[in-house]
Amino acid sequence: MNSTVTGAIPAPDGFTPNFEHPTDVLHTINYVTQALSLVIVTAFIVVKHYSKVTVLRGTWQLEDYVTYIAYALFVGYCIDSIFLTNHGGGYNQWEVTSTEIVTFYKTGYAATIFYAPMAFTVKLALLLIIARVFGPVHKKTILGIWVFMGLLAGYYISALVVKIRICWPIRAYWEGDLTKCLDQSAIITADAIVSAVSDLVILLMPTPLTWSLQLPLRKKLRVTGILCAGGVATAFSVYRLGMILTEGSSSNQTIVFVKVILSGNAEVGIGLICTCLPAITAMYTRRKGATGYNTGEYGYGTGNKSTRSRNRNGDNTASSKNQIFVNHSIQMDTCPRDEEFARAGDPDQFSQDQIELVTHAQGVGWTKGI
């Protein structure tokens, strides 16, 4: 069979292609990665959905819808990557037949189309969470976040159009007629740079915003950890950028392209998991019963740390409807009594665990009823 079949590219000197049993470089790794990505990310999405619907019973926020869109694109990306592996992905290109490589490039083209909206939506979901948490406190900073989201939208929409028409006619992409195509390596490099920069912003942004609030250290660490977790994908974005710069011009694209896909799995998969963390940690906290809403730690519930003002004589209507709070910065706030009970039992207000607490506190921090 080896004498009648030709490889997609000539084999290096000293190598004899084996088309029946090609060397498994990343072939099995890609299969396993796609399977694990689907299982793990789906599990987090299911738990998030369960938490929102049955435990927290909260209203749906924009970032929830964006997260589900990103997840749907991620599933498509993983399935397409499995098809790509079926047609030579992870084998050296000189051990992939000249007919098989056509299907490989077709599935590779589909993967590039999936990536742009998938990466954008997961970054958008993470930024929307940050914007909603800190919006009432850092309004000028949040304006900058929305501008940043607009810039990302502009880039990824443009990138999607460019990738769709990277070759014209499109079939030139898998037919190998590079004279009718744009520089694919340059496009992937631009993607890697934008991903690395945006992931770094997502990693660093929540820290100064959280530490400017009057919250206990434990709460600051928890909020910072949840919001910064999505930036962990920065490492994979930087890896992809370095790999493309060093290997992007290689003729062994069945290996290079799989490396790009695997880094995309890590980047977007981690991002999706992080969009689920607020709802999941909220569910865990509620199940454990360790929340300030029930213990009165933040002045909303009952207990030793929160006492209600009462008008026993019934002469002062205002004081019977309002609860007065004082925080450590001696700032005075009033809260209608019926609103106080609503906050304590509102599932949506509870739905983001300590993150939502930041929004309600609006920088006030620890409160005590008098």
Structural domains for the chain: 27-288 (1.20.1070), 292-369 (no CATH)
d(CA 365, CA 331): 10
Alpha helices (H) along the chain: 27-50, 62-86, 100-134, 139-164, 172-175, 184-204, 206-211, 217-228, 234-247, 253-288, 292-295, 317-321, 337-345, 347-350, 353-361
Q: Which residue has the tokens 């962990």?
A: 232
State residue 330's pLDDT score.
30
What Rg value do the Cα atoms of the chain yield, rounded?
Answer: 26
Contact 91, 104 (CB under 8 A): no
* Closest to 209 measured CA to CA, from 327, 283, 127, 150: 127
User: What does the DSSP 8-state code read for residue 19?
Assistant: S
State residue 303's pLDDT score.
40
d(CA 263, CA 189): 13
Contact 272, 88 (CB under 8 A): no
State residue 186's pLDDT score.
87
Mapping DSSP to helix (H, G, I), strand (E, B) and coil, where does residue 152 land? helix
State residue 21's pLDDT score.
92
Q: Which residue has the tokens 């005075």?
A: 332
Non-local (6+) Cβ contacts of 67 within 8 A are: 45, 48, 121, 122, 125, 272, 275, 276
d(CA 115, CA 118): 5
pLDDT truncated to tens, each residue of the chain (370 aa)? 455 788 899 999 888 899 999 999 999 999 999 999 999 999 999 999 998 888 777 678 899 999 999 999 999 999 999 999 999 999 999 999 999 999 999 999 999 999 999 999 999 999 998 888 877 777 788 899 999 999 999 999 999 999 999 999 999 999 888 889 998 888 888 988 999 999 888 888 887 877 777 777 777 777 777 766 766 778 888 888 899 889 988 999 999 999 999 999 999 999 999 999 888 887 877 777 644 444 434 333 334 444 444 444 444 444 444 433 333 333 333 344 344 333 433 444 334 444 444 334 333 333 333 3
d(CA 126, CA 230): 7
